Amino acid sequence: MQKSRRRCLSATLLTLGLSLGLWATALPVQAAEKITISALTFVSSSPLFIAQDRGYYADEGLEVEFKFFRAAQPVAVSIASGDADFGVTAFTGGFYNLAGKGALKVIGAQSREEPGYNFSAYIASNQAYDAGFDSPEKFPGKSLGMTQKGSSFHLMIGMLAEKLGIDLDEIQLKSLEKVPNMIGAIKSGQVDSIILPAHIATKLERDGSARIIGWVQQYTPYQLGGLFTSTRNVEERRDVVERFVRAYQRAAADYAAAFMQVDASGERVFGEKAEALIPIIEKYTKTKPASIKAGAPFIDPQGRLKVQSIHDQVAWMQAQGLVAKDVDPAGFVDLSFIEGHLDVPTN
């Protein structure tokens, strides 16, 4: 009698288990939210790549597609037009004009020029260097190739000119549209100088194609780039934005732990954590490990912005006629997704 009851109970439990299994199988699986990220394949975009390869987006229920560009401005345009959901790149005049019209929201930081961390290099052609152009102080009378007016390169040379008391008109600015064109122009001596990230600059110097004559961080530290999305995403898909930011912050913390360590003398050191991340960065940027280490920029481990720097950049570009006078950073910098932003204006 007892055995019969046990057999009956076992059969009942088995039937219930099978029923629950079939019911669970029939339930629809929650589909991952698809998002598109626009960026440049620079080392400064590393947290994006780390978050993808370490599964941080997937952990947040996000399925990512990347769109890569050759200049910063198209990244901003892709977000404003709705072709992509998130962008990470340097700030430009075009970006600020789009943001000022209500199309974009800055929600976090990309890299910044921070003392002690080389990223953007002033580069001289071999011909110009041999003729004595061996420091940024000697820019007057020289030509500089850049993508376009209002680009981050334009801003960097403008800030340098102000820092050194140089009239910007003394430097011949040449718009070359794309980074590959800048590289070709410096190699051939068509321009005397360019400004580019260290992973490109160090390769040019190592190959004997050009010479590094200084670093932007030594002269004009500033908030170089940001993490941004569309105003529509902030208003209508806030949960998706929050999930993306969390994944990005995890990756930024990994990057900082690997590439922003210094020894007692202030020299940067790279250990096992850096070695673990280099293959990921190399895969996306096509940059050799030595160049990644030589020019890994400062990236805030929490994605925090230096907000006053953005206000200063807009003011400079407005003075140059590159950004509309009515553009106010307070209207497009959204500090609500990340805590503890730095240098926040009080007025």
Q: What is the pLDDT of residues 197-217, one digit of tens each?
A: 888 999 999 999 999 999 999
| Mean pLDDT score, 235-246 | 97
pLDDT at 291 over 90: no
Paired tokens of 168: 């910007």
User: What is the helix (H) or strand (E) element at residue 227, kind and residue range?
Assistant: strand 225-230
Paired tokens of 320: 């140059």
As a whole number of angstroms, the distance between CA 16 and CA 33 comes to 33
| pLDDT at 7 (0 to 100) | 56
Percent of the chain at pLDDT > 70 equals: 91
- Candidates 245, 237, 238; CA nearest to 303 is 245
Residue 194's DSSP bridge partners are 123, 145
Answer for the pair 95, 333: CB distance below 8 angstroms, yes or no. Answer: no
| Mean pLDDT score, 269-283 | 96
As a whole number of angstroms, the distance between CA 129 and CA 243 comes to 48
Q: How, if at all, do strands 143-146 and 193-197 pair?
A: parallel
Question: Which of left, alpha, beta for 88 (phi over 0: left; psi -120 to 50: alpha)?
Answer: beta
Instruction: Say which range, 272-276, 283-287, 294-298, has the weakest mean pLDDT.
Output: 294-298
| pLDDT at 13 (0 to 100) | 45
Overall pTM > 0.95: no
As a whole number of angstroms, the distance between CA 89 and CA 317 comes to 17
| pLDDT at 295 (0 to 100) | 80
| pLDDT at 5 (0 to 100) | 53
